[in-house]
Amino acid sequence: MMRNTYKIEQERLEKTGKLTTHPHISCTKCATKVTAFGTNLAGKIKKAGSLETLLSHFECRGCRGTTARANKPRLPKALRKTRVSKAAAIAEHTAELVRNPPTMIFAPRKPLLLLKHPELAADVTLNSCVRPDVFLDSDRCCDQCALYKVCKAPCRSLSKFFTAA
């Protein structure tokens, strides 16, 4: 009797291009209706071999997934690395900065042109200091200034702890 229904379905499919349950095929395990028509239905028939085997053995995606999951061996979960929270990471970074503060190494550039030409340096420094950064950083003294020997600035002075070399 079942063979007869498959023949009827086959004849109807050939005539109209549709099944009697158009546009659905029922799952043989859970009776869920799955949409299949046109090229999708043709592909399913081709994959199953014939319309009879498709309608008698069709399983929906959910049923195929549960059987595949049941047969699949379970692997042990990989050990996860412990993550440090953002707040803890920031606290650790700031603690490291407190322990080892960054030091800025400042080496002032020497004005080579003025060192090579002392008469030019004397003319340029006659009314103003060429290196006010060194002057102000040294507590208004020219202790670290490379131009001290050729400088003619009125503010030129050495601290009592430093002697010009």
Pairing of the two strands 33-35 and 24-26: antiparallel
Q: What is the pLDDT of residue 128?
A: 85
pLDDT at residue 15, as a whole number: 72
Residue the block writes with tokens 């002032």: 108
- State the average pLDDT for the chain: 77
> What is the value of pTM for the model shown?
0.33
Q: Mean pLDDT throughout 26-55? A: 81
What tens digit of pLDDT does each residue of 67-101 get? 555 666 666 777 666 777 888 888 888 888 777 76
Q: What pLDDT is attached to residue 1?
A: 40
**Which tops the pLDDT comparison, 2 or 41?**
41
DSSP states along 78-104:
PPPPPPPPHHHHHHHHHHHHHHS----
Give residue 40's pLDDT band: very low, low, confident or very high (50, 70, 90).
Answer: confident
Cβ atoms of 118 and 150 closer than 8 Å: yes
pLDDT score at 80: 64
More confident site: 77 or 153? 153
Token pair for residue 10?
Answer: 């086959």
